[in-house]
Structure 1
Amino acid sequence: MLYEAYQAHSDLMAPVKAFARLALEALNGPYPALNENVLVRNFSAAYEMIDRAGLTHVRPPFGFKTAAVGNEIANVTEVAALKTPFATLLHFKKDISAQQPRVLVVAPLSGHFATLLRSTVQTLLQDHDVYITDWHNARDVSLADGPFGFDDYVAHVIQFLEHMGPGSHVVAVCQPCVQVLAAAAIMGEDDNPAAPASMTLMAGPIDTRISPTKVNELAKEKPMSWFEKNLIARVPLRYKGAGRRVYPGFVQLSAFMAMNMDRHVKAHVDLFHNLAGGDKEKATHTKAFYDEYFAVLDLSAEFYLETVQWVFQEHQLPLGMMKFRGRKVDPKAIRHTALLTVEGERDDICAVGQTMAAHDLAANLKPFRKKHHLQAGVGHYGVFSGKKWEGQVYPILRNMVLQND
């Protein structure tokens, strides 16, 4: 009933939002002088806030048309290099003749679309030929396409790297650090020629026994039966994935917002005042953030439940218990893929030390192929977005790629 209740609420809100949209258009219509009136501006701001209320379930556009490459501006075209029912290997193809290192950005599958990493990709585009794992919304994937679990995620990483070819590099952000390390281990053991030349793991839960955060503790305090009973729902009949068991994106978003509810409430109060006061720059910045934040996707139940159990409850990778389709995952098999780990000093989602644990697991990797960077003064998102990412973290990542290309 979880999804049905959410859908019923969305349906009830639809006419309310439609009315607000019409009222907003009327106020901003043929008489722009009306907006000089304080009362009209307040009504206009209120109608816009109502129209914006609610979530979307379609990936926003990345919006890259150009990218700065040296002193030139290159045109960027999005190309679907490979597509499966659950993901697209999206290539940001630039119209330049020079060859740049190929980099696969592995986006988290945790309730948001890959566009959450827009600023990460934008920075990487300066010096790299960038691809990304563009995960599909599970509610739009037919039951006929089968399940999608933890092993399928790892298999996608391997398949995408094989498609990109030998010499590619991989950058994992947050949750997929575990799957990427597992993929590199399997590819190393198989002497797969497409094994990545370098692997950057950013703020990921390799070993959550180290300095457990509130998020880690929440994942451990309930039995798996609780997660399955209370957080898993079936996709309603109106969607292509009707009947598929999913962890709804709106549930994940609610959990994220609950962690910092005061901040989100203040942001929306400020947005109202900025709209009413005519501060378009501040309002545009806030709206852009929440347009992205409120775009959610559903995760397949298999992937979500296996991730909670294998990564956060059983710590299978650091304890040497993890298997990929029946094969033991042994990070010691990584001998040629250089490793960079990045953590944020103030990260309250993935604590300091949890990502760095990858170095101990990849015990057979020569010391000169390993590097760790602790970024001072940033939380979780500051590791891969913002000024310190661009000015301090990114140069280290770029050098790691260049040294191993």
Structure 2
Amino acid sequence: MTEETTTLTGPPVREWPALDLAGTEFDPVLAELMREGPLTRIRLPFGVGWAWLATRYEDVRQITNDPRFSRTAGMDRQVTRLAPHFSPQPGSPAWADQPDHNRLRKAVAGAFTVSAMKRLRPRAQELLDPLVAGIVRDGPPADLVERVLEPFPVTLICEVMGVPAADRPQMHAWAAQIVSIKGGAEASAEAKKGMFGWIADTVRARADSAGDDVYSLIGAALRRGEISEAEAVGLAAPLQIGGEAVTHNCGQTLYLLLTRPELMERMRHQPEARATALDELMRYVPHRTAVGLARIALEDVEVGGQLIRAGDPVYVSYLAANRDPDVFPDPDRIDLDRDPNPHLSFGNGPHYCTGAVLARLQIELMVGTLLDRLPGLRLAVPADQVAWRRKTMIRGPQSLPVTWG
């Protein structure tokens, strides 16, 4: 990792390349940055300048809860970033500060509550069971990504959102391209154009619908004048794309179980303890490459003993916060009995993931059903031959070949 000397007060600026890491390896650059101090300065592969990086749990919580750090202010700034393209969607809650953020999320909040997910659970299991039954029928080997981890989250999020079956393959293709770094700005822009256009047409068409699917809820909010059309698109798109993250996160979780027999044995034979164990696996899994979206300091703020000046861009690392030894003793060890486990895998503060309960439901169902239906589940290839996604913002296996019995 190289460094750049600077006349500005603060630590040196460190180059952070977008590493294509295999397996569940923790990013060695991030590990080094964590050792250097609670706040460091980084330069990512694209964009302009440098940004602060917060890695300590309490600092991450402070920044993500503090209105003096603005997402909206970052929409007009070409700060250093992971993605080669930068086209923030106007009206997206991801870029909104309060009170707009709560106003936008209110339109869809009812679809993602704990009670709504409890009602959804039987239907989700109905969609999952035929996929697993198909694997059992065809016999080993099978690629879990192709047969279950991709089709199930895509089908379920499309059902929750209200995407007709005929449009689901295209929606999946758009979402996969948007979260990829491959293809550059042009491919991402083309995918966004297609998805955003489809969403705009759909919410307009459902403005008078009384349905409880998400696009109908957004259409109704649009009709009532609570959100604009741009906000309707910006609200729906991240929810639609969320199925991709579930695929990759569950893939990493299963890879951990398949490569660590003691974990697999525990999960298989103690189903009553799976919920606690899954929290620990979610804490441990490095679900993304580098960092997400930056915030901009609106005024001078002290964090972790370091003064951040007004106008400075700031990133937080949830991956690093999840390995903070002050909060998670022996953080590099997987402890399936870890309790409490206040991990930040779904974010923190106002921008906590809207679909967190749905994501958790899907991972719980997929892991549990596969373990229960496929006795002796194990990798069909050596662990070092599992192919991993490249040039992507969300990490996960490209395929997960398994056998069983």
Whether TM-score is above 0.5 comes out as no
Structure with more of its chain in strand, by fraction: 1
Using the size of structure 1 for normalisation, the TM-score is 0.27
Larger Rg: 1
- Kindly indicate whether structure 1 or structure 2 has the higher relative contact order, using CA contacts under 8 Å at least 6 residues apart: 2
